[in-house]
């Protein structure tokens, strides 16, 4: 059985031009860090990653490792959790007063991909209508258009489209026609979309606003936290999606790196900042010291007769000799 490690890649660390600036104790501690706070951001300009490591003896100061495309890295020490927090806030624009959209749902992973493909297909139809100056906007989408957008998102992960953004975050999905239809069926049974007799799909009236706020992704940020504990790791992953006018939290469920379901919910920008701050603060919190076992008191005996005596007794209960 292999124990999962959260230590930085040694080769990558050695290639860092400023790795020699790390104090010896910190470099040694990086072989077995107590916590890792990893932030991966996705925007239209590309991806960025920042890994912050807490090491024993450094308190709340951490070493930050920023990988580069050539397989090397930049290393900084000391930094604190505010660096990781600021990267998420800046990428998602959480300093803006964004209100939440009234929506929360539990979706399996097939339904999430189907929702993304349907949102992309709907947006594609709107763009084509605008270019053609079509006066009536088509709201219902056929399954072929949804499937094509799903394929595009998996093979050409353009973050300007929701399915492409999800591919950047989670990796390529299992895009088959059967999986897509299964995902659409889950969405329909959940009351989010409906299939007309013509075979066209459209969002239910109660879901129209939330659906519209998913169509135009601007950025995403993945906050992954691993905190060492006795016998293993406590791991948390939160995915934040910023659309044109809303912030979404995608909470993955299932194995790390291969979620089987998600909780999709919209939050305000202020609430998103709080989620990020609290998660990072918890990762850097010093573990509680184990309770100290009570030391048993040494037995007391009368020096005169040897009779046992309680620790607070002044006189022997057997012979009456004063105890000292």
Contact between residue 38 and residue 51 where contact means Cβ atoms under 8 Å apart: yes
What was the pLDDT predicted at 9? 77
Q: Is the pLDDT of residue 132 over 70?
A: yes
- Which region holds residue 295: left if phi is over 0, alpha if psi is between -120 and 50, else beta? beta
Band (pLDDT 50/70/90 cuts) for residue 28 is confident
How do residues 164-196 score in pLDDT, each as one tens digit?
999 999 988 778 899 999 999 999 999 999 999
Cα 33 to Cα 177: distance, rounded to the nearest angstrom:
44
Is residue 317 in some structural domain?
A: yes
Give the predicted TM-score (pTM) of the model.
Answer: 0.82
Contact between residue 264 and residue 105 where contact means Cβ atoms under 8 Å apart: yes
What was the pLDDT predicted at 2? 43
What was the pLDDT predicted at 79? 87
**HEC per residue, 103-136:** CEEEEEHHHHHHHHHHHHHHHHHHHHHHHHCCCC
Half-sphere exposure of 218 (CA within 13 A, CB side): 13
Do 89 and 228 fall within a single domain? yes
Nearest to 34 by CA among 257, 256, 283: 283
User: How many structural domains are present in the chain?
Assistant: 3
Q: Is the pLDDT of residue 297 over 60?
A: no
Q: Which one is predicted more confidently, 126 or 165?
A: 165
φ/ψ of residue 252, rounded to 5? -70, 145
How do residues 253-295 score in pLDDT, each as one tens digit?
887 778 889 999 999 999 999 999 999 998 887 655 555 554 4
Contact between residue 77 and residue 65 where contact means Cβ atoms under 8 Å apart: no
Do 29 and 169 fall within a single domain? no
What was the pLDDT predicted at 239? 95
Do 110 and 207 fall within a single domain? yes
**HEC per residue, 275-291:** HHHHHHHHHCCCCCCCC
Do 136 and 204 fall within a single domain? yes
Cα 165 to Cα 178: distance, rounded to the nearest angstrom:
22
Do 230 and 180 fall within a single domain? no
Do 124 and 177 fall within a single domain? yes
CATH assignment at residue 170: 1.10.10
Do 127 and 195 fall within a single domain? yes
Do 151 and 113 fall within a single domain? yes
Is residue 15 in some structural domain?
A: yes
- Quote the mean pLDDT of the chain: 85
What was the pLDDT predicted at 115? 96
Q: Is the pLDDT of residue 91 over 90?
A: yes
Domain span holding position 28: 10-98+221-241+265-283
Is residue 65 in some structural domain?
A: yes
Cα 227 to Cα 34: distance, rounded to the nearest angstrom:
6
Task: Output the CA torsion 302→305→306→307 (10° steps).
Answer: -80
Is residue 131 in some structural domain?
A: yes
Residues 6+ apart with CB under 8 A from 300: 308, 309, 310, 311, 313, 323
Of all residues in the chain, the percent with pLDDT exceeding 70 is: 88
Q: Which one is predicted more confidently, 275 or 61?
A: 275
What was the pLDDT predicted at 1? 35
How do residues 231-256 score in pLDDT, each as one tens digit?
777 888 999 999 999 999 999 988 77
* Cis amide bond preceding 78, omega within 30: yes
Task: Output the CA torsion 78→45→251→63 (10° steps).
Answer: -10
């Amino acid at each position: 059985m292999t124990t999962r490690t959260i230590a930085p890649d040694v080769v990558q660390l050695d290639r860092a031009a400023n790795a020699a600036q790390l104090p010896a104790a910190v470099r040694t501690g990086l072989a077995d860090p107590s916590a890792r706070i990893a932030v991966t951001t996705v925007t239209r300009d590309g991806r960025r990653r920042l890994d912050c490591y807490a090491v024993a003896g450094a308190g709340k100061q951490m070493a930050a490792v920023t990988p580069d495309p050539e397989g090397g890295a930049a290393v900084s020490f000391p930094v604190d959790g505010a660096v990781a927090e600021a990267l998420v806030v800046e990428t998602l624009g959480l300093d803006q007063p964004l209100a939440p959209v009234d929506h929360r749902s539990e979706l399996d992973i097939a339904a999430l991909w189907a929702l993304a493909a349907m949102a992309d297909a709907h947006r594609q139809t709107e763009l084509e209508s605008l270019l053609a100056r079509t006066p009536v906007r088509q709201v219902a989408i056929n399954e072929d258009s949804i499937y094509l957008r799903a394929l595009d998102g998996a093979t050409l992960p353009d973050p300007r489209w929701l399915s492409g953004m999800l591919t950047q975050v989670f990796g390529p999905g299992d895009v088959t026609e059967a999986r897509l239809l299964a995902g659409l069926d889950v969405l329909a049974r959940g009351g989010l979309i409906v299939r007309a007799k013509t075979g066209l799909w459209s969002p239910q009236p109660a879901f129209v606003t939330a659906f519209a706020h998913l169509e135009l992704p601007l950025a995403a940020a993945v906050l992954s936290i691993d905190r060492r504990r006795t016998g293993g790791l406590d791991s948390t992953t939160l995915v934040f999606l910023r659309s044109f006018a809303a912030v979404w939290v995608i909470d993955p469920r299932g194995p790390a790196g291969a979620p089987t379901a998600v909780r999709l919910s919209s939050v305000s920008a202020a609430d998103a900042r709080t989620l990020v701050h609290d998660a990072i603060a918890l990762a850097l919190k010093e573990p509680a010291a184990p309770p100290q076992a009570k030391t048993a008191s040494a037995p007391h005996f009368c020096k005169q007769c040897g009779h046992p005596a309680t620790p607070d007794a002044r006189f022997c209960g057997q012979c009456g000799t004063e105890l000292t």
